[in-house]
A and B are shown apart, each in its own frame.
Chain A
Amino acid sequence: MGAYFSEIFRGLQSLAIGMGITFREFFKPVVTVSYPMETLKMSARYRGHIELVEDEKGQPKCVACGMCQRACPSGCISLASESVEYEVEEKGETKTKKKKVLTKYNLNFTTCSLCGQCVENCSFGAIDFSKEYNLASSRKEDFHFDLLQRLKERNS
């Protein structure tokens, strides 16, 4: 009999403690962020999709070596390049040299797993993570990024 009543009493007591906690929480400030109205700043190391890095002249640093393409586990990077001749002054004389110039750098973000292998494998520091996270669309094509185009838009 004693155990019967003591269990009821302890039960009610535990319920009262629980209600006390939610009562206190009720008066504490709200912790959420009203997302579309307020946004958070992403941390410095946040990994968004990749973005081409430009040099001082506003051109992509990329030399089109294709390391990122090879390192990518999901094959979401495709790039193309062409050779262009250019002239350099060397020891007083002009020489023509060839170099690869990036003509296309497409990222298929639908399959990207944001592992960072491409950025890690780039020996030239030519790609970096963007801080963009407001990416939502019902169309697949919206996630096929032309990174060269985006670089131009950023500069203009």
Chain B
Amino acid sequence: MSLTVLNAIIAVVIAIGFAALNAAYLVWAERRGAGRIQRRPGPNVNGPLGLLQPLADGAKLMTKQLMIPGGADKALFMVAPVLAMAPAIMSFVTIPFSDVIVAKSMDVGVLMIFAFASLGSMSILFAGWSSRNKYGVMASVRAVSQAISYEVPMLITVITIVMMTGSMNLHDLAVSQAGGFWHWNIIPSLASPLMPVSFLIFFICSLAETNRAPFDLGEAESELVAGFHTEYGSMGFGLFFMGEYANIVIGASLITILFLGGWGCPFGLFPSVFWFLLKIYLLIATFIWIRWTFPRTTIYGLLNLSWKILIPISLFNLLLTAGLLKVF
């Protein structure tokens, strides 16, 4: 076995470990956070501060029977949860956590992450379709139309940034923002005056891409029961759940790298992995905070938002930036 293969395997194992740990403790953090927002303690019985709750949940999910509904497409039904989790883990491979901590630095890192993100919506389609549940089918159709309409403004925004930096390598993107926070992409410069708006668009799109409230139409529990994973129990459901949180981590990492200077310290001192983790967890906290504040949008409200507001503005921003880059 060559060294590169071994390296890759180690990288994947670490990525899986990181994703699983994050998924487990983000659930805990979400429940504690939601509890505090609603002025109740949240899980607090298992271990100190309820820190062992994820273990209990995991044990429960794993010991449950895996049910396949009659009439379901068995192969697809089994593949879908794996398909939800695997691309998320693969995306971790190319994310640079700091100047040195990166499994595989790729020149097309941004593209790769978006390619894997699209696979995620496929898993939702498979899950909804194969479980032969009307709610599931409706949810998966929703999720796919949502994914299509939100990838457009997201990618346009990314193109704007790639244009400014001249690279698709995530490492280069982060390095180009080194220094204090005044170098970050979120801060408007002469060449890109609308960057805060871009940031907002990207943020909203990543909420939608990760199926987080207020855009969680795929699972919309008060309408579609549990949406695409209505028929899933046991670890099948567990994988969807972990995949969702892994996607959130990736979304937060992308925002951090594209807009918030990656692993750079806001004051230009000691750039390190600590700053990177701090930024992504602050972003995730905002995700959680948003989820527990707002009601859900409607499917047409969501499409209207994308096609009538986000896409025109991001297109305008793209043209503006392209023009200004020529001038300055």
Contact = CB atoms under 8 A, between A and B. Distances in A.
Direct contact of A and B (CB under 8 A): yes
Interface of A: 8, 15, 18-19, 21-23, 25-32, 34
B289 A31 contact: no
DSSP class of A's interface residues: helix, strand, loop or mixed? helix
Q: What 5 A-B pairs have minimum CB-CB distances, sorted nearest first?
A: A32-B40, A22-B293, A31-B39, A22-B37, A26-B36
Nearest to B309: A8
A15 B40 CA distance: 23
Interface of B: 33, 35-41, 44, 289-290, 292-294, 309
A18 B44 contact: no
B309 A26 contact: no
A18 B33 CA distance: 16
30 contacts: A8-B309, A15-B294, A18-B294, A19-B290, A19-B293, A21-B293, A22-B37, A22-B289, A22-B292, A22-B293, A23-B289, A25-B36, A25-B37, A25-B39, A26-B33, A26-B36, A26-B37, A26-B289, A27-B36, A28-B39, A29-B39, A30-B35, A30-B36, A30-B39, A30-B40, A30-B41, A31-B40, A32-B39, A32-B41, A34-B44
A89 B36 CA distance: 71
Contacts, number: 37
A99 B262 CA distance: 91
B213 to A, nearest CB: 12
Contacts of B33: 26
Contacts of A26: 33, 36-37, 289
A21 B294 CA distance: 11
Contacts of A19: 289-290, 293
Contacts of A15: 293-294
A19 B290 CA distance: 7
A8 B33 CA distance: 28
A32 B44 CA distance: 13
A22 B289 CA distance: 8
A16 to B, nearest CB: 10
Contacts of B44: 34
Contacts of B292: 22
A93 B309 CA distance: 104
Q: Which of A18, A26, A28, A34 has the most CB of B within 10 A?
A: A26
A23 to B, nearest CB: 7
Nearest to B44: A34
A26 to B, nearest CB: 5
With most chain B CB atoms within 10 A of its CB, the pick from A22, A25, A31 is: A22
A102 B87 CA distance: 75
A54 to B, nearest CB: 40
A31 B40 CA distance: 6
Contacts of B40: 30-32
A29 B38 CA distance: 10
Contacts of B309: 8
